[in-house]
Amino acid sequence: MKFSGWHAVGASLAGGMVEVAADLLPADLVTWVPLSRRRRARRGFDQAEVLARAAAAILGVPVRSLLVRARDTRAQARQTGPERRRALQDAFAARATVEGTVLLIDDVLTTGATASACARALRRAGAGPVHLLTAARSLGGPVPARCLGSGSRGAARVP
């Protein structure tokens, strides 16, 4: 989907994501981890946005673009966790005040650095709990314990 332009599979992926994440729901709003303008222009779409819009439609929950890239970052693939955390520090900002529980959608969870940076920005803007739902988990290593809530089935929770 991400690199081949197969955004039509987004609805099917989102359906599966929602089905396995019942413990994260309900949420008041759905949003996504935004791509940089350059990457979005190159791909022609934002894969996380496609997933978020489809998941929100299934859930019957409003979807809003709550985050912007405050600064562009290089691709995070092949970077270590500490490198990712440094690169993503203050890389995201909320567009406006945010209220309620937010379901944050991304395509892939690797170290959790991107999700944590986004959750921090949402929380600074007033959001309540921020739950993360992804289509895939990188096989590069285990999900850090700080990202998992009790009773989690692999879905990360950012306090």
Please give the average pLDDT of every successive group of 10 residues along the chain, which has 159 residues. Answer: 55 72 80 83 81 90 93 62 73 93 91 89 96 82 55 45
pLDDT at 73: 64
pLDDT at 33: 94
Decide if 18 is inside a domain. yes
C-alpha distance from residue 87 to each of 38, 72, 76, 132, 146 (Å): 17, 10, 8, 20, 19
pLDDT at 114: 87
Decide if 137 is inside a domain. yes
Enumerate the β-bridge partners of residue 158.
130
When divided into structural domains, the chain yields a total of 1
For residues 26 and 59, the answer to whether their CB atoms sit within 8 Å is yes
State which H helix or E strand residue 42 sits in: helix 37-43
For residues 124 and 102, the answer to whether their CB atoms sit within 8 Å is no
Decide if 126 is inside a domain. yes
What is residue 13's three-state secondary structure? helix
pLDDT at 26: 79
pLDDT at 15: 66
Residue for token digits 């673009």? 65
Q: Name the residue range of residue 103's domain.
A: 7-158
For 66-76, b/e burial (b = at least 16 CB within 10 A) is: bbebeeebeeb
Decide if 34 is inside a domain. yes
pLDDT at 159: 41
Neighbours of 143 (CB within 10 A): 17
Decide if 1 is inside a domain. no
Report the CATH number that the domain containing residue 133 is assigned in CATH.
3.40.50
For residues 88 and 73, the answer to whether their CB atoms sit within 8 Å is yes
Decide if 2 is inside a domain. no
Beta strands (DSSP E) in the chain are 29-32, 67-69, 92-94, 102-109, 130-137, 157-158
pTM assigned to the model: 0.75
